[in-house]
Structure 1
Amino acid sequence: MPSEQRHQHSPNSSDIVSRIGELVRQWRTLRHLSQLELALEAGISARHLSFIEGGKALPSREMVTQLAEALAIPLRERNALFLAAGFAPTHRETGLAQPEMALINRAIEFILKQQEPYPALVLNRHWDITRANEGAAAFMNFVFDTPPDDPNMIRQIFSDHLLRPFIANWDEVASDLIRRLHHEIDWAPTDEKLRALLAFALSSPHVPEKSKVRPMEVSMSPTLNFVIRKNGVELSFFSTWTSFAAPHDVTLDELRIESSFPADDASARLWEKIIAGEFRR
């Protein structure tokens, strides 16, 4: 169990109460909650919350945990909240190459292998491709003569010299991904890298006009549908995402696996030929 003792290198208490209060108020505002609503959700009095936000009270580690849970703060930003309150971070960030992640790596490799012959990618929170199966490599070889150096999926899709010219249902894909980026920024509103990816996507001259203005409360589709057209041949796929439930490590909290499947029989047959090396571009 983590100690209640505050970090020995923390600033003085007046700086701490000011910083933690400001962060709590910022997250509460971003989540569109009143002080009373957050207090009820966190199981504390509105007066106590007011004192914390106003810099008149310093929350305990347990109180920081309650507030972080009530505000649905991601693990990386939750660690920042603990630091602001003068405590050591609660959640580890363990690289996948570390020995203690061996079973997680085994699970990931099993999922990627089970997805064969269809594409599967491992993505981090910023849409960087960190791992791919053979099906994903075959997909990239079908589209490109030389696979792109940039591992970021958003930049690949929205770049004119990469995937964008090959996406037949461009308006649908662009609109869907922009909605997803908005949704992820809502979840982690202090993430500047996500904001930069959204800005990059919106800077494309090919983005549909309707996607440049964020729609109000549009529900997210559980799948992403995309049609790749090259040399008069079309491949229709849909993608789903898998994440780790109830993670306690920042790395796992930000990890997801995208699995793609043929959307129709014609695409499934064409994909079999591509995998078997029987299709000539």
Structure 2
Amino acid sequence: MSAAMPGQYFSDFAAALRYWRGKRGHSQLRLATDSGISQRHLSFLESGRSQPSREMILKLGVALDIPLRERNVMLLAAGFAPAYQERKMDDPELRAVKQALDFMLAQQAPYPALVVDRLWNLVMSNEPANRFFKWLLGMPEDAPIPRDGSINVIKLTLAPDGLRPYLRNWEEVGADLLHWIQREAMSDGPGSEASTLLAELRALADLPGAGAEAAGLAPNLDRRALPFLPLTVRKDGVELNLFTTITTLGTPHDVTVHELRVEAFFPADEASAAWFRGR
């Protein structure tokens, strides 16, 4: 995916800066202090009376904890080239990252693990994950599972002809998954891919909102409840209780690497663990 064009999210840099300062809830004084510039200069940047340098934009991006992709958008809006590259996973420069991810996926066996991008498009998966999804979807054992980003894991989970029929608690899981994309949409500027995907997922899930309250799904805070949201799957007389962890890569300087997520599935009970070990 190529970097966003300047007018995709914001009319100019000043609009982008005002958006992100408001999104982070910073006053001009706080942002000026955190970024080491004068409040007067910051005010001029937000009004468009002053134009930022490339270094200033990068400094503000760090102070506001703006995602790398959106820092590139701000640079483009100000007339600068992007600072952060966005490589494909088969790029030779990402070979070490790919090897690390392959190692992590292999270590997760016999339990499933996936690598997804920030919008939960499938990038990599281990063999237990492949077998697990083929079993749920009734796919032949030798059928390939694309790992080119064409499969969106959340869409697959929420779709009536996907995994939803086999999820006993799909409403709770769906509300939780929508939170992830809502978080991405809130982190992006208006009109972003994440915002478009969120609208699609809301319609697909047939839930009135992205959050548990809006969907009428209050979290179970009973003391006897599990300390995590289980993913309860039932098919062919088999019931599996799972939970997942999400891992990100540290200190990324590449847009692709910054946006990768490793989702690992773990059994929530011994019966579920035995089923995966048996396969």
SS at match of 2:207: coil
Report the TM-score, using the length of structure 2 for normalisation: 0.83
Q: Is the contact between residue 157 and residue 164 of structure 1 (CA under 8 Å) also seen in structure 2?
A: yes
Between 1:26-35 and 1:50-59, the stretch displaced more is 26-35
Aligned match of 1:174: 174
Q: Partner residue of 1:60?
A: 53
Indicate whether 1:50 and 2:43 are aligned. Answer: yes
Count, aligned residues: 254
CA 1:205/1:75 → structure 2, altered by over 3 Å: closer, same or farther? closer
- State the match for 2:66 in structure 1: 73
What is the one-letter code of the residue matched to 1:76? R
Counterpart amino acid of 2:173? V
Are positions 1:250 and 2:255 aligned together?
yes
Per-residue CA deviations over 1:256-277 (Å, capped at 9, x if unaligned) read 111111110011112222x1xx
Cα deviation digits, residues 50-100 of structure 1 (max 9, x gap): 111111111122211111111111111101212222222111111111111
1:263 to 265, 268, 276: 268
Sequence identity (%) = 41
Q: Distance in 1 between the 2:193 and 2:230 partners?
A: 25
Q: Unaligned 5+ residue runs, structure 2? A: 1-5, 220-225
Residue 247 of structure 1: CA displacement?
Answer: 0.2
1:33 to 16, 23, 26: 26
Verify the 8 A CA contact 2:87 2:256 in the aligned structure 1.
yes
- Separation (CA, whole Å) in 1 of partners of 2:185 and 2:77: 21
TM-score (ref. length: structure 1):
0.82
Residue 232 to residue 214, structure 1, CA distance change in 2 (3 Å) = closer
Residue number among 229, 236, 240 corresponding to 1:235 in the alignment: 240
Letter in 1 for 2:235: K
- Alpha-carbon distance between aligned partners in 1 of 2:198 and 2:227, rounded to the nearest angstrom: 20
CA RMSD of aligned residues (A): 2.6
Show CA shifts across 1:182-222 (max 9, x none). Answer: 2222222446221222222222465388737289xx9xx99
User: Using the alignment, how far apart are the partners of 1:242 and 1:234 within structure 2?
Assistant: 26
Please give the alpha-carbon distance, in whole angstroms, between the structure 2 residues aligned to 1:208 and 1:77. 28
C-alpha contact 2:44 2:50 (8 A) present in aligned 1 = yes
Report the equivalent of 1:197: 197
* 2:88–2:256 contact (8 Å) kept in structure 1: yes
Ranges of 4+ aligned residues in structure 1 off by more than 3 Å: 147-150, 204-212, 221-224
Mapping of 1:154-169 within 5 angstroms? 154-169=154-169
